[in-house]
Amino acid sequence: MDLKKLFGYEGKKVVITGAASGMSKSATELLLELGAEVYAIDINPIDLPVKKAYQADLSDKEQIDKVLKDLPDKIDALFLCHGIAGFKGKELLVQKVNFYSQKYMTEQLLDRISDHGSVTFIASVGGFGWQQVYPKAVELINLNSWDAAMKWYEEHPKEIESAYVFAKQCLLSYVTYKCMSPEFINRRIRINAINPGDTTTGLTEDFNKSTSPTGDAEEGAQMIENIFLKSWNGYAAEPKDMGYPMVVVGSDICSYMSGQLIYIDFGLTSNWTSMALLNSNNKTIEEISHESNA
Ligand SMILES: NC(=O)c1ccc[n+]([C@@H]2O[C@H](COP(=O)([O-])OP(=O)(O)OC[C@H]3O[C@@H](n4cnc5c(N)ncnc54)[C@H](O)[C@@H]3O)[C@@H](O)[C@H]2O)c1
C-alpha cells in the first residue's frame, strides 16, 4: 500500500496557520513530507520549505484580507492553528486570535475549499465544558460581520473574562454547529477540531505565567502540572504528538469524519467525564477535575 496515496496530500494545496512554531510547525513538516503544496501563515517568520510563507498578524482583519487575496483559488485542506495564552487585559485580542480570525478565515475561504475538502482547528482541553456556553457562542457565530462580532465582544465583557477558555469553547461550538450546515455538508466539506492536552511548545512559558494569579511562571507551571498531569503521574506531550494526528484528521484517511472534537490528552478529559457521570452530588466538571488532581 502506498502510504502517501492513502493520506491523499500529494500535490494538494494546503493552507496552515501558526506554522512558525510548535504543533503547527510539526504538522507542516509532515504535510511537506507527504507531498502537499503548503501555504503557511504566521506572525513570526516561517523557517520551512513551503510553497509560500506569509508573515501576518491574524488578529488584524486588514492583514488577514491581504493574505486571503493572495492564497490559491482552490484549497484542499485548511488548518487553523494559531493561538496565544489568555493574559488579563488581553481578552479581546485572545478572542480575535484564538477564535474569531479562525471563523472569519474559514468562511472567507469556504468557496475555495474543494468538495470533500477539510477544515481542522486546534482547540484545547481548556475548552472542555463548551456545552455550557453553546447558546451564547452560537449567537456570536451567527453574526455576519467582523465589526458586529467586535461589538458583541464589547457588550459581553463577562463572557470573555475567561478569555482562553471562552475562545476555545467557541471553536468547539463552531465545529458542532456548522458540521451539518448546508455550506459544509452539501459539498461534503469536513470540519473537526483536535483538543491538545499539556504540550511543550512556544506557548509553554506564557501559559505558565498566565495561569499563575501573580504571573509567576514557576507557580503557574506547578498549577498546570497539578491540573493536567498529577492524577496520572503523566508527562507533557511534544508538538508532534498533536501535529501528526491533526494531519491525519485533515487527510483522506478520515474521509468520513466530521463534526468531531478529538481530545488528545491521554484520557484525562474522559476520566473527568467518567467521574462526573458517576458522581451523585451534582458537582461540576471543574470541581471534579480540581478534586481529582488535588
Ligand atoms: N501548548 C499547549 O499545551 C496547548 C494545549 C492546548 C491547545 N494549544 C493550542 O495549540 C495551538 C498551537 O499552539 P502551540 O502550543 O503549538 O504554540 P506555539 O506558540 O508554538 O505556536 C503558536 C503559533 O501561533 C502563532 N501566532 C500567535 N499569534 C498570532 C497572530 N496574531 N497571527 C499569526 N500567528 C500567530 C505564533 O507565532 C506561533 O508560531 C494554539 O491554538 C494553542 O492555543 C496548546
Chain segment 176-213, per-residue pLDDT in tens: 999 999 999 999 999 999 999 999 999 999 999 999 99
Hey, what amino acid is at 173? S
Span 108-115, average pLDDT: 98
Question: pLDDT above 70 covers what percent of the chain?
Answer: 95
Pocket test for ligand 1, best of 17, 81, 82 (most atoms within 8 A of CB): 82
Pocket test for ligand 1, best of 15, 16, 23 (most atoms within 8 A of CB): 23
pLDDT bucket at 293, cuts 50 / 70 / 90: low
210 lines ligand 1 (CB under 6 A): no
Single out the residue of 64, 11, 79, 61 nearest to residue 247, CA to CA: 79
83 lines ligand 1 (CB under 6 A): yes
59 lines ligand 1 (CB under 6 A): yes
pLDDT bucket at 283, cuts 50 / 70 / 90: low
Residue 238 pLDDT > 90: yes
User: What's the pLDDT at 119?
Assistant: 99
DSSP 201: S
Residue 246 pLDDT > 80: yes
Residue 79 pLDDT > 70: yes
- State the closest ligand 1 atom to the C-alpha of 20, by its place in the atom list counted from 1: 39
d(CA 42, CA 17): 6
pTM (predicted TM-score): 0.96
d(CA 289, CA 294): 9
Residue 120 pLDDT > 80: yes
pLDDT bucket at 279, cuts 50 / 70 / 90: confident
Question: pLDDT above 90 covers what percent of the chain?
Answer: 94
User: What's the pLDDT at 282?
Assistant: 65
Domains and CATH numbers, the chain: 3-203+233-268 (3.40.50.720)
Reduced to 3 states, what is the DSSP secondary structure of residue 71? coil
